[in-house]
Amino acid sequence: MEHSDLLDGLNQQGYCVLPGVFSEAEINAFRAATMNNLAMMGQTRDVVHAYHLAGFHRFPALAELHAQIAGNDTLNAFLSAYYGGRSYYAIGLSDITVNRSQHWHTDLLRGKYSAFLDEDIAWAEKQASCIKALVYLQDGASLTVVPGSHAAPTPLDDVQLEELANSADVVRAKVRTGDVVMMDIRVLHRGSTDADMRRPELAQNPKILFSTVFGPVKSEFAQAMQIGNAHRMADWDRRFLN
């Protein structure tokens, strides 16, 4: 698929899928590193085999994996096309999730952290959003999106977002191992349900996602997300890395 088609998908729908970005060997290395470092991860769900590590780029045992994602030629060619040659960077919002369910949400600063984000900033520029790269370490079809929901302001409250999603048309993204979803962080989406992630076989064959977010240099939106996320991540550390 040409960049123009993928860019149209990202701009119009709020997401697109870059196929086969990472090789089988790279995916196996990502999975092995994850399983070898489960002990450092937080457990944010009441499922014994569910784990989450916010800001994994900060940890020496995993930093090289983040560098592989952020430095990937295919991702950077796409991002360069999206940003029109404007400089961009990884803003510090990175995650590894293992068998973790996700309700309807956007990746904007919500709840008490929304104070760091002026809503006008998030929608000020048409093609200068913050873009999340989601690296799939297995085939999947759990990512569900409200297409086009990134194009206009949405609530920064989870309850209101749930109500909005329940009244909207949705699409399900199908991905293969090694694919990368490029997603506007303003788009309304959800992942696997709690029931899906309770399946006992996932303890031995876990569903693992890596992600990191990029934004333009000298962007008020990217800077607000970076600062607000630093506060959110510090709170997360205090809760789950004790």
Instruction: Write out the DSSP string of 146-167.
Output: -TTTTSS---SSHHHHHHHHHT
pLDDT at 2: 63
CA–CA gap between residue 77 and residue 168 (Å, rounded): 33
Structure-block tokens of residue 44:
């944010």
Instruction: Provide the residue ranges of all domains of the chain, joining segments of one domain with +.
Output: 3-240
3-state secondary structure of 230: helix
pLDDT at 203: 83
Structure-block tokens of residue 104:
């309807």
Q: Identify the burial level of 65 via C-beta atoms within 10 angstroms of its C-beta, where 0-12 means exposed, 13-18 middle and 19 or more buried.
A: buried
Quote the Cα angle for 36-201-206, to 5°. 35
pLDDT at 1: 47
CA–CA gap between residue 168 and residue 145 (Å, rounded): 10
* Contact assessment for residue 186 and residue 128, using Cβ atoms and an 8 Å cutoff: no
Q: Which residue ranges in the chain fall short of pLDDT 70?
A: 1-2
pLDDT at 91: 98
CATH architecture of 3-240: Sandwich (2.60)
Per-residue model confidence as pLDDT tens digits over 108-141? 998 899 999 987 899 987 778 999 999 999 999 9
pTM for the model: 0.95
Per-residue model confidence as pLDDT tens digits over 207-225? 999 999 999 999 999 999 9
3-state secondary structure of 52: strand
**Which DSSP helix (H) or strand (E) runs through 13?**
helix 3-13
Instruction: List CB contacts of 42: < 8 A, sequence separation 6 or more.
Output: 51, 52, 53, 54, 236, 239, 240, 241
